[in-house]
Structure 1
Amino acid sequence: MADIFREIDEELQQEKAAKLWQRYGGWVIAVAVGVVLAVSGNVFWTRYSAERQAERGDRYEAAADLATSGKPKEAAEAFAGLAEDAGSGYATLARLREASALAAAGDVDAALAVFRRVAAEGEAPYADLARVWAARMRIGSVDAATLVGELAPALVDGNPWRPLAVETEAAIRLQAGETDKALALYKSLADDATTPSRLRGRATEMVRALGG
């Protein structure tokens, strides 16, 4: 009888974990990517002359305003236009914002196509960020081994996106029924003081949900 109750308890824990992943796995890509890029985008500004920086800055700000004012489709078009005539590094940044806007507009296939293009053609480290989001968008629709393989460059120690990549791998493992592996990955994030605070909080909650 005790075994029966133990099995029920494990099923309830897994169900709770699945609901938590639905909550966080559906994390709005536009917001997540937008916050990261809003900060890191400043690095690129210093590489351009004041005149070109001002012109592109105006266009970037206009596109960003569209994204934050509930017009993701228009924002995607604006970022796409900016990416076409911007320098390579800045084009990568604009492409990522284009993809996040497309995702917010509900055009998942188009967003995925842009993320995969950046992963293949974009400059480091943003190509790895695109790899992570391309994998996250396909959890449950592509086999775990394929997705984890695509994440490999971002999982390397020292990669700035490694914590996000580890969280993504954990979600992939959980979706595939590899609960023990998922739990170990979530624990590694929760126990690492260098993990960004929000991501660490999500990982801690997932550890609890999985009975760790």
Structure 2
Amino acid sequence: MVDVFDEVEEQLRSDRYKTLALKALPWLGALTVAVVIGVGGYWGWTAYQAKQSAAASEAYQAALETMGREGTAKGFPAMQAIAKGGAPGYRALALMHMGGIRLDEGKTAEAVAYFDEAAKLSHDPVLGDLARLKSAFALMDTASFKDIEARLTPLAGEKSPYRVKAKEALAFAKLQAGDTKGAREDFTVLANLLDNPSEEVRQRAQAAIQLIDSGSAANLAATVKAAIALPPAPAMPALSQTAPAGAQ
């Protein structure tokens, strides 16, 4: 009798599993279809981004060649076309070129607007912070110290790729504002900064300290500001917009 009951229980269990399997089958099928669609959509979007980035790369290189061959008057519209659409990284680079052109023409407000737009558009901290630094430099002679300080202080943090440039610019901004004590303190830090990658920055800081101490720093800020060279925009390889954020 025990064997009979065991056989009946096993049969009932088997029938119950079959019923559950039949009920779950449509859900499993739907899940499989969703996974296939999701994977296909991801690869489709990736391919689209790669195509857009490749087109933006070619257009950017062509615009650079146009600027080199025909000058900024012809190069500006080419950069403007890139800035209006395409991969965000190349749009940011184009905006920075446009800002540089307008700055050379003495149109500071327009240049700052382009730099600020590039900073907002870029997801790359190296490119974004460079745009912010260029914007701050463009305003050094016209904006208040408070405005300059607000722009430069975040760029002077230890994790910023342009912290040394930002600290130097902030020191000269203090000097322009008449804060010789604060400027001297900043220059002293720059002169003794262990991770200072530029010997020129160290030499300028030491020279600034000597001029401040001698009382000859009245015209130092304007003179040395012209000697501070901003780093060029980083080269952007083709298809970089499709790479993962960590890889970039």
Shorter chain as denominator, the TM-score bin is 0.5 to 0.7
Contact kept in structure 2, 1:129 and 1:154, CA below 8 Å: no
Alignment-derived partner of residue 185 in structure 1? 186
Deviation at 1:70, TM superposition (A): 7.5
When the two structures are aligned, how many residues end up with a matched partner?
164
Q: Which amino acid aligns with 1:60?
A: Y
Alignment-derived partner of residue 136 in structure 1? 137
Deviation at 1:210, TM superposition (A): 2.3
| Structure 1 segments (4+ residues) deviating >4 Å | 51-55, 66-70
Alignment-derived partner of residue 59 in structure 2? 59
Secondary structure of the corresponding residue to residue 102 of structure 2: helix
1:72 aligns with 2:72: yes
1:112 aligns with 2:107: no
Deviation at 1:183, TM superposition (A): 1.7
- C-alpha separation between the residues in 1 aligned to 2:122 and 2:197? 24
Alignment-derived partner of residue 46 in structure 2? none
Contact kept in structure 1, 2:56 and 2:90, CA below 8 Å: no
- C-alpha separation between the residues in 1 aligned to 2:205 and 2:64? 30
- C-alpha separation between the residues in 2 aligned to 1:117 and 1:52? 21
RMSD value over aligned CA atoms?
Answer: 2.6
Deviations 1:28-81 (A, max 9, x none): xxxxxxxxxxxxxxxxxxxx74x6665434432333244445723333322221
Distance of aligned partners of 1:161 and 1:67 in 2 relative to their CA distance in 1, 3 Å threshold: farther
Distance of aligned partners of 1:187 and 1:72 in 2 relative to their CA distance in 1, 3 Å threshold: farther
- C-alpha separation between the residues in 2 aligned to 1:69 and 1:104? 18
* Higher radius of gyration, 1 or 2: 2
Contact kept in structure 2, 1:63 and 1:79, CA below 8 Å: yes
Deviation at 1:148, TM superposition (A): 0.5
Q: Which amino acid aligns with 1:82?
A: I
For structure 1, which segment, 79-88 or 160-169, has the greater mean C-alpha deviation from structure 2 after superposition? 79-88
Alignment-derived partner of residue 81 in structure 1? 81
Deviation at 1:121, TM superposition (A): 4.0
Identical residues among aligned pairs (%): 25
Q: Which amino acid aligns with 2:193?
A: D
- C-alpha separation between the residues in 2 aligned to 1:64 and 1:207? 40
Gaps of 5+ in 1: 1-47
Q: Which amino acid aligns with 2:168?
A: E
Gaps of 5+ in 2: 1-48, 215-248
